[in-house]
Structure 1
Amino acid sequence: MEDAEVLKELYETIKQNSKADYAGIIEQRASYPYLYHLSQIRENLVSFLPFDKDMRVLECNPECGALTGKLLAMAGGVTALAESELQEKILRERFMEPQEREKLDIRRQLPEHGRFDVILIAGHFYRWEKQLPALRELLAPGGKFYVADANRIGLKYLAGCQEEYCGGYFTGIDGYPDAAAVGRFGRSYSRAEYTRLLQEAGFGGLTFYYPYPDHKFPSVIYSDEWLPQKGELAEGRSNYDRDRVACFNERVMFDSLLEEGVFQTFSNSFLIEAVQEG
């Protein structure tokens, strides 16, 4: 989460401007928090999911609403769990149209009762790891549970991008040796680790999608049925918020991973669909 001063600036920006102004504001500010919280590209992560107007959605990590507006347009109602009072103010200011207000329920704590057709955690999965069983109980029969987050052994981190949460080069690759930093900033997981954590919490039927270049600014979403072709993953842009080094040619390495049949293991990020088992 951004610090309070940045969120205050974002709140004033959202309060004084319409959604149509966001693209120009991003260009003018040239600041990562504005790109991250206001970019319409963020919506690509969820826009292809099979929502309908009768669905109730629980958004566990709404932050400043980058995905919330798309969820409101796709579903019948969204319960957003704001992390702070300031974040709640931003969400209320950003979605103040009558049709949005009617469908948006902002809370500060996880509901104790109710059933949701879709539960979404986009980023900061580590914050919810211990609450997965409680989230499972809130999922309606036949509902879908979605997790989107970084892959700690994703190719971009091997190639010289800094770690998603703690920062630093190869931090996740090295298994997060600084436990204090993980406790303060968080961490991401590998494909096998996400699978284990979800299955231990009672989720099954896992389907993996592969946002590229990552889950934050996806230009395309791949799946096991539709994998990238050789030469398709040519972009080297990632980690807009941190400096990086270039250890090798990512395009060439991605082609090698595709030829070896292990692209899915080293995808930069995952979007995981799960269902309630039992």
Structure 2
Amino acid sequence: MSSQESYLQASGYIFHKDSAIWVRSGYTGISYSDGDDAELRIAGIIGRASDITVFSLELRRHCTDWPSLYHLSGTRANILRPFAAILRGDILEIGAGCGAITRYLGESGANTLALEGSPRRAAIVRSRTRDLENVTVLAEKFDQFRCDHQFDLITLIGVLEYANLFTSGENPALVMLQRVRSLLKPEGKLIIAIENQLGLKYFAGAPEDHLGQPMYGIEGRYRKDQPQTFGRTVLADLLEQAGFATVEFLAPFPDYKLPISILTEEGLSSKKFDGAALAWQSVRRDPQLPRSMSFSLELAWPEIFKNRLALDVANSFLVAVSPSQQKVLKPGILGYHYSTDRIPRYCKETVFEHIDENAIGVNYLILGSRKCEGETNPIINFKCPEKVIYAEGSPLSLEFIKIVTRDGWAIEEVGAFISRYIYLLGLIASQRGRVIDVAQVQEKLPGDFFDMVPQNIIVNLEEKPIPIDTEWSLKGDIELGWLLFRSLLLALGSGIDFGKNSKGQSFSRRAFIKSALSAAGYPLTDEDFSRFIALESVIQEHVSGHAAREFLIIWSEEQLLTYSVAERYGQVNQLNELIDECNRRISRLHELAMERDVLVHTILSSRSWRITRPFRAIARVLRSNQRAK
């Protein structure tokens, strides 16, 4: 019997052999669920899977909707990766869900007690960690959790916002935090992940995550019987009141649920580090983001960072706290970026860290197994350096976004952008002592240019291009046409909203790519387009483990989503007018109600009302007698 099981048994909990979870006698669970169909489906998927690891391709292939993505995606674990060094000793995970985070904690080697209020979900957690002896699962309400043991680390990932529903007291969130504080060792750590009540996407019209209504959190309309999120200052005050001496905020992007980038306070405020680039490039990686927003988040984030507001309006918070004065994060760390939507051997972590006052280092770490299991690819090579120097400047891809997201853009402008991109490729080649011919789409470039797409080119203040993150290369040469094709393919894959074209044109993705390249002087034939889709499919399938060709063919024929900026603001104005009209009606109804109250008061105070009182009493008696018959 493990130490975890020993103190559970000593606290009166019973081991349920059928589900392999611990539970107290008579416990029925909490009223929280993703729905019977969703949870039974997830239970079946995990139960039948032969690979249940964090990076399981088998589970990832079942991510077909939001519940399955949330509970099965390996990207969930990224929220704790910045703290990998302290995931040791005894860990209490409060609100384990269906085990996505539990699995990562278990794989880290920590003695993990996963507490989940729903017995069915607790059984799913046990199924997800069935091969990990260092994980114990308990079905229990946190506010009724009986335990004298103290822990080295406790997690509240997506849990604190539910304190109103499952914790009693005048201030349930504070009560929960105080209880957590009592369960920590003196040098213990608490990790919290929660949505920001004042997150930028909510200002742009995204609905409040738990209640589904836009502006609900922004306007502070939470009731005491509802989930509730907090802004940074309120959350920091709660933590201080709960007795935590050290509080360190981080900002996960696009939010804490499926984070691909995580920035520290130092990274959010650094003048030499472009944290905004990680923020805006993550925007369309949020599967819960509405199709259309009231403004462009991609363009807003750089301005937010310039004005030092990034932490206050981050969509979510990741908070590391401790009752001691000891900080959790290593000084000098600016941020983390994760590439985990790949087959395991290509998954990696990128860490940005100050080397000294004038330089920033970029450190890479392969997260999955480096074993290739005998598999080779005749087309592509993967090479991940251990460390490089950070390149200051702006991503070339931002120039593309600024062109196509405004009303009145022209395809000729996109053509000019492509010409500029090709010019910069020539500069990169000359920096390497090479000369490239870019006269036609059939011209060949060296294979190491394969990954030099606009999002991987930084343009510094001297207008010099600096390639970054070029981890992929072809074993042979690459056609210029294919490189241009995949550059636009990746740009369109970000899902940005296009402004209205100057000529009122609408484009499918295929038509846009062909028109843009033609405007730059590099026309593609339909045969070229189909050939490049086939080539790109082979690469994507090798990197991600997913079949891609059919998707790319269908995707390329879909229309680009165009959303006029003027129309967007027009809709906002219309909504404001409707709100004003509703407010006027409410005011009028209020006036009528007051007039009615005055009239009623006048009648009740009148002499005639007093004189007729006996007659009304007689009438009531007569009506009562009539009903009795």
- TM-score under structure 1 normalisation? 0.90
Q: 1:160 aligns with which of 205, 210, 213?
A: 205
1:105-130 CA distance string (max 9 Å, x none): 21133242111111000003133422
- Give the letter aligned to residue 7 of structure 1: E
Partner of 2:251: 210
Distance change >3 Å, CA 52–CA 193, structure 1 → 2: closer
Equivalent position SS for 2:283:
coil
Q: Distance in 1 between matches of 2:300 and 2:80?
A: 28
User: 1:16 aligned to 2:58?
Assistant: no
In the other structure, the counterpart of 2:193 is: 148
Deviation at 1:82, TM superposition (A): 1.2
Give the Å deviation of 1:54: 4.3
CA 245–172 in structure 1, closer or farther in 2 if over 3 Å, else same: farther
Q: Report if the CA contact (8 A) 1:56-1:78 is conserved.
A: yes
1:91 Cα deviation after fit: 1.1
Quick one: which amino acid aligns to residue 111 of structure 2? G
2:203 touches 2:218 (CA, 8 Å); kept in 1? yes
Deviation of 1:50 after TM superposition, in Å, equals 4.0
Q: Which runs of 5+ in 2 are unaligned?
A: 1-32, 164-172, 269-273, 326-629
Shift of the 52–236 alpha-carbon distance from structure 1 to 2, 3 Å rule, reads: closer
Per-residue displacement from partner, 1:185-240 (whole Å, max 9, x unpaired)? x1211101111111111112100011011000100110012234344423432653
Deviation for aligned residue 1:241: 4.3
4+ residue segments displaced more than 2 Å: 50-54, 108-112, 227-232, 234-245
> Quick check: 1:81–1:108 contact (8 Å CA) kept in 2?
yes
For the 8 Å contact 1:151–1:190, the answer to whether it is kept is: yes
Q: Pairwise mapping of residues 224-239 of structure 1 onto structure 2 (< 5 A)? A: 224-227=265-268, 228-232=274-278, 233-237=280-284
Is the CA contact (8 Å cut-off) linking 1:160 and 1:244 kept in structure 2?
no
1:192 aligns to what? 233
Q: 1:224 to 1:134 in 2, by over 3 A?
A: same
Match of 1:123 among 145, 158, 161: 158
- Partners of 1:164 and 1:187 within 8 A in 2: no
Letter in 1 for 2:160: F
Shift of residue 268, structure 1, vs aligned partner: 0.7
Residue 105 (structure 1) aligns with: 136
| CA RMSD between the two structures | 1.9
- 2:286 is equivalent to residue 254 of structure 1: no
Separation of aligned partners in 2, 1:188 and 1:66? 22
How far apart are the structure 2 equivalents of 1:241 and 1:221? 18
CA distance in structure 2 between the aligned counterparts of 1:53 and 1:124, rounded to whole angstroms? 19
Describe the SS at the equivalent of 1:25.
coil
Query: Counterpart in 2 of 1:6?
Result: 38
Higher relative contact order (CA 8 A, sep 6+): 1
Q: CA deviation at 1:155?
A: 0.5
Distance 2:180 2:87 in 1: 22
> In proportion to residue count, which structure has more helix?
2
In structure 1, C-alpha distance between the alignment counterparts of 2:116 and 2:245, rounded to whole Å: 27
Tell me which moved more, 2-11 or 256-265.
2-11
Following TM superposition, by how much is the alpha carbon of 1:244 offset from its aligned partner in structure 2, in angstroms? 5.1
| Cα pair distance change 1:118/1:53, threshold 3 Å | closer
Task: Using the TM superposition, name which of 55-64 and 74-83 deviates more.
Answer: 74-83
Bigger Rg over Cα: 2
1:242 Cα deviation from its structure 2 partner: 6.7
Q: Displacement, 1:275?
A: 0.7
1:74 pairs with one of 108, 111, 124: 108
Distance (Å, rounded) in 2 between the aligned partners of 1:192 and 1:204: 15
Judge which range, 85-94 or 207-216, deviates more: 85-94
What is the identity, as a one-letter code, of the residue corresponding to 1:201? A
Q: Which residue of 1 aligns with 2:82?
A: 48
TM-score normalised per structure 2: 0.41
Q: Distance in 1 between matches of 2:182 and 2:72?
A: 32
Deviations 1:25-57, CA, capped at 9 Å, x for gaps: 11xxx2111101000011110022044574111
SS in 1 for 2:250: strand
Q: Does 1:89 align with 2:123?
A: yes
